[in-house]
């Protein structure tokens, strides 16, 4: 892993600044997954062990994360005190924590700890490591650089964070260091059973939603596409969380190089998620549409209907594919 650090503080600086605070709020993005929740809990539990007043905030919470140690500490409301530091994890922009949280955060010192390549240095202090495969890796390195003692609950949360963002250690972002850190976490007692319960979580309402999703799958020019309407969620009493990993199924289709999933959040307002093989940069496409993310996993919000949105996104992907084709071929030959 390239250890480029964008922003202005080192792992150790981050640890020391947090230690100098008495009260700390830790916040992560709305519609969280296990990297957001696991990173928040690991850092929160660590700071609590030093007697800090810690408030772990997530606007939405994550039902499947109830198996992670300390999950009951997550609060869906903001505190009634102004903390010394407002620490934001796993967010490319401050707005990702939700409007209310963002307004609250700017009233104090913000520390931004992130790993998105499109991350903005919105904090007073910024520790952005775009090559880290998960925010959990960045948290691990803060703990390691400070020589803080890990326990099994912290290790479990970090393992969940890293496993989630690497698709259970299968993505090309996984390198020797990722696996070394995972092995150290297991050594510290990480309970992989709890991680499995969180990452392989299903419900009957999710199965109902999935059947609708699968019935709409289409493959166009090597890109798998599907969508879900707001009414599909209502009919199956499902929530946004329930479809969170559906895009991975599109991506697993044999012969596809990329996947697009449209989720209708409000009438004609869609959250578009994209995944791709390494040769397609969906991150730059997301930026064009006002969103963000990583090179091979990104998203944005857009108004319209699936019939209007899908061709627009496909067009961008295919345009890019044309531009990179000769390079890819040379690489393959080499």
Which parts of this chain interact with Mn ion (CB under 5 A)? Answer: 35, 90, 135, 165
Which position's Cβ is nearest Mn ion? 35
How far apart, in Å, are the Cα atoms of 240 and each of 31, 263, 264, 270? 7, 8, 10, 12
Q: In angstroms, give the least distance from the CB of 26 to Mn ion.
A: 14
Nearer to Mn ion, 38 or 306 (CB): 38
Q: What is the dihedral of CA 232, 236, 242, 247, to 10 degrees?
A: -40
Nearer to Mn ion, 117 or 320 (CB): 117
* Residue among 191, 187, 75, 195 nearest 134 (CA): 195
Nearer to Mn ion, 37 or 256 (CB): 37
The rounded distance, in Å, linking the Cα atoms of 203 and 243 is 11
Q: In angstroms, give the least distance from the CB of 133 to Mn ion.
A: 9
Residue 323: how many CB atoms within 10 A of its CB?
A: 10
* Residue among 181, 192, 127, 157 nearest 46 (CA): 157
Residue 252: how many CB atoms within 10 A of its CB?
A: 12
> Strand 292-294 and strand 258-266: pairing?
unpaired
Nearer to Mn ion, 89 or 110 (CB): 89
The rounded distance, in Å, linking the Cα atoms of 334 and 324 is 16
Nearer to Mn ion, 299 or 306 (CB): 299
Phi and psi at 112, nearest 5°, equal -105, 115
The rounded distance, in Å, linking the Cα atoms of 270 and 280 is 22
Q: In angstroms, give the least distance from the CB of 116 to Mn ion.
A: 7
Q: In angstroms, give the least distance from the CB of 165 to Mn ion.
A: 5
Q: In angstroms, give the least distance from the CB of 60 to Mn ion.
A: 15
Nearer to Mn ion, 165 or 232 (CB): 165
Q: In angstroms, give the least distance from the CB of 143 to Mn ion.
A: 17
Q: In angstroms, give the least distance from the CB of 292 to Mn ion.
A: 12
Positive or negative: CA dihedral 286, 291, 294, 299? negative
CB-based contact 78:8 (threshold 8 Å): no
Q: In angstroms, give the least distance from the CB of 138 to Mn ion.
A: 9
Tokens 């910024």 locate to 126
3-state secondary structure of 301: strand
Angle formed by the axes of helices 34-48 and 135-146, nearest 10°: 20
Nearer to Mn ion, 90 or 242 (CB): 90
How far apart, in Å, are the Cα atoms of 284 and each of 121, 233, 288, 291? 18, 29, 6, 9
Nearer to Mn ion, 29 or 206 (CB): 29
């Amino acid at each position: 892993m390239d250890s480029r650090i964008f922003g202005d503080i080192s792992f150790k600086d981050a640890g020391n600044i947090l230690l100098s605070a008495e009260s700390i709020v830790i916040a992560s993005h709305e519609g969280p997954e296990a990297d957001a929740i696991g990173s928040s809990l690991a850092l929160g539990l660590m700071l609590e062990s030093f007697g800090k007043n810690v408030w772990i905030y997530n606007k939405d919470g994550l039902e499947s994360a109830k198996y992670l140690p300390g999950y009951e500490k997550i609060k869906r409301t903001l505190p009634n005190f102004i903390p010394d530091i407002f620490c934001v994890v796993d967010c490319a922009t401050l707005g990702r924590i939700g409007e209310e949280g963002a307004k609250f955060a700017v009233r104090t010192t913000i520390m931004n700890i992130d790993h998105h390549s499109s991350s903005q240095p919105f904090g007073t202090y910024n520790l952005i490591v775009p090559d880290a495969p998960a925010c959990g890796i960045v948290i691990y390195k803060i703990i390691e650089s400070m020589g803080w003692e890990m326990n099994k609950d912290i290790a479990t949360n970090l393992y969940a964070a890293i496993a989630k963002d690497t698709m259970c250690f299968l993505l090309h972002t996984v390198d020797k260091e990722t696996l070394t850190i995972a092995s150290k976490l297991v050594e510290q007692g990480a309970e992989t059973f709890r991680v499995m319960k969180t990452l392989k979580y299903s419900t009957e309402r999710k199965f109902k939603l999935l059947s609708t999703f699968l019935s709409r799958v289409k493959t166009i020019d090597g890109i798998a596409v599907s969508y879900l309407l707001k009414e599909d969620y209502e009919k199956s009493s499902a929530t946004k969380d329930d479809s969170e990993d559906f895009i991975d199924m599109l991506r697993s289709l044999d012969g596809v190089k990329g996947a697009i999933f449209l989720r209708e959040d409000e009438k004609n307002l869609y959250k578009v998620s994209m995944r791709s093989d390494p040769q397609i940069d969906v991150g730059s496409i997301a930026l064009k549409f006002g969103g963000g993310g990583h090179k091979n996993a990104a998203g944005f919000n857009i108004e319209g209907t699936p019939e209007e949105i899908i061709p627009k996104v496909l067009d961008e992907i295919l345009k890019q594919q044309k531009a990179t084709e000769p390079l890819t071929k040379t690489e393959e030959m080499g």
